[in-house]
Chain A
């Protein structure tokens, strides 16, 4: 019973975060989806080291507890949480730059702008441009590799 509840919670968090990342139309919400998925993954890892009727892995009254939860996944999750906050800050910094460059955080608008910038860079004539292309910027060189996939 307990196992079912916890596993459903962890996997649901992971999948909700992933779906939010894929479906949301706003870049900030995509970042929130990433954080939610991270929480689900961390919970899943801690669940992997759980043991019935056990104690925390800490010296207590002269000895380590007879039965204790596995300390290795806990150590991994501990570092993963701290890395997560670093990644989050980096993503926010990138969002700030994207907003400076394109003036918006809507995914479709940002993507359209990037495509136009790429086309301009490669010398492709635009069929019909809805927006005036923004000028040269450091973003151009940074996204050249990422935009080539289509």
Chain B
């Protein structure tokens, strides 16, 4: 099954999704969008770990990366007052 077309296509799809999410996390205007993109990246990574026969790691990444990390980042957004202000607009603090 390894090296089959299904596996290659699945890996390609997941890698593309993950790289897109990574770029979106760094380049998007809104911080909320960035955090959600990071969560999507973790989800792609989880599925990739399942493909790579690492169920333990997939479980950890799913629980920690998709769940807890997003929760921590969401609380941080609230606490850092970053919900609305995008990256360029925050310079009005000056």
Residues on A facing B (Cβ under 8 Å) = 1-2, 5-6, 8-9, 12-13, 16-17, 20, 24-26, 28-29, 32-33, 35-36, 39, 42-43, 46-47, 49-50, 52-58, 68-69, 74-75, 77-78, 81-82, 84-85, 88-89, 92, 95-96, 99, 103-106, 109
Contact = CB atoms under 8 A, between A and B. Distances in A.
Main secondary structure of the interface of B (DSSP, over half): helix
Given A35-B69, A46-B52, A16 B93 contact: no
Contacts of B3: 1-2, 52
Chain B contact patch, size range: 35 or more
Interface of B: 1-3, 7-8, 11-12, 14-15, 18-19, 22-23, 25-26, 31, 34-35, 38, 41-42, 45, 48-49, 52-57, 60-61, 64-65, 68-69, 72-73, 76, 79-82, 87, 90-91, 93-94
B60 A109 contact: no
Given A39-B65, A104-B94, A88 B26 contact: no
A81 B61 CA distance: 7
Main secondary structure of the interface of A (DSSP, over half): helix
Contacts of A88: 69, 72-73
